[in-house]
Amino acid sequence: MIYDLIVIGAGSGGVRAARIASVHGAKVAMIENNKFGGTCVNVGCVPKKFFYYLSQINKDIANYKSYGCKISDPQINWRKFIQKKDKEITRLNTIYENILNNNKIKIIKGSAKFVGSKKIMVGKKILQAKNFIIATGGKPKKTNLLEGNKHVNTSDDIFDLKKLPKRMTIEGGGYIAIEFAYIFANLGISINLIYRGKRILKTFDEDIVDFLIKNNPNNKIKIHFEKTITEVNKLKKEYVVRLDDKKIIKTDYVLSATGRIANTKNLGLEKTKVQINDNHSIKVNRHFQTHEKNIYAVGDVIDYVNLTPVAIRQGHFLADKLFNNKKMIEYDFTNIPTAVFTSPQIGTVGLTLEMAKKNKIDAYELTTSFKSMKKTFLTKDKDTFYKLVISKKDKTILGIHIISDDAAELIQLLAVNVVARNTLDDFKKTVAVHPTSSEEIITI
């Protein structure tokens, strides 16, 4: 059989592409060598969000106590929590598999390797297709220490953590490292965060990042800027981490979260015209086509914007383009809302003032910061900060950057204003809901 489409990788983008192609009448096969659902379901946003929810319990209880409630401090059964997390992920794996089966997509378990532009090998079997979509995702970067690589865990490993340590050392300054730092700090763990740069979350608005650093949960996070880990040694029941300035840190768990790279190894791409970038990601054009005209790629493997909703839209667009051109929608990937699940959360969409200046756009900022009403009795400290970036020319909202306990939920709706090119006047015309934190961004 010659398939109309073979998709390699049953993550969010691959499954969406396969399903939509099948709906359009294409004969589709799916190749997967691991669990269904990809990074997000198995070792990404889904289990991380469960970790995040658990980490907020102590904060919530502290606030309830400030209202006069008598509540005992929680005792976390970590083993039971991990079992529940695993059970839910298994349920989601099954849902993804059912989506494929229900849409009459042929599932083939194994690793795919190109043996030509229209043929792949899975095990000893040769499969042919008119079109291919590579959706193999990414994996954590490996450490390259002078000594002790085997003692370092990745952001994939941490979801199988057997017990909560008392001390944790994390290397990295991107959103993955920062999220885990805040998650485990809120669980009472002392964190040493090692970062080679001068500023964490370097692509985010500076004021937002500064505000986050000041909201250090119980001062449990210590950041070591412009430092790297050179070696890790095990000493009895603890680990000894050595930094490049010879400083020693004793810890119970070492996590490397310095980024992810595309899964392109052993795909046999050398048998095709497909080209890869220096970071192993696949080169594609704006329609996700590689240098081999019948081979496409979507999701983390192209290292564009590594977010599940982006991969889903790429997969959907591509299936429409290949099999139903009349209903093809050109998606706008320029203003993508993003959330960082710290405490408080970060939400951002559009341009920062710095980005606007680099693009030679004359703009200005409006900001407000305050303590949310629900924490009236808990603290005097501010926990919320909002910023609008506005065009001087026509008052168009160019960017929105917020930090608050519910920033992830709020930024989803606020993003509509940036995508729709609404103006500051549109905000001013809108009647606020009172009393809420969100009214402050309307009346800014």
Q: Report how far residue 219's alpha carbon sits from residue 213's, in angstroms, rounded to the nearest whole number.
A: 10
Q: Report how far residue 316's alpha carbon sits from residue 307's, in angstroms, rounded to the nearest whole number.
A: 14
Structure tokens at 296: 């496409």
Q: Which residues pair with 131 in a beta bridge?
A: 5
Please name the residues in contact with 150: beta carbons below 8 A apart, sequence gap of 6 or more.
none
HEC string of 30-96 equals EEECCCCCHHHHHHCHHHHHHHHHHHCHHHHHHHHHHCCCCCCCCCCCHHHHHHHHHHHHHHHHHHH
Q: Report how far residue 130's alpha carbon sits from residue 1's, in angstroms, rounded to the nearest whole number.
A: 11
Q: Which residue has the tokens 């809420």?
A: 436
Position 180, amino acid? F
Among the options 24, 291, 401, 434, which is catalytic?
434
Look up 434 and say whether it is catalytic.
yes
Structure tokens at 101: 């089966």
Q: Report how far residue 91's alpha carbon sits from residue 206's, in angstroms, rounded to the nearest whole number.
A: 40
Q: Catalytic positions, please? A: 434
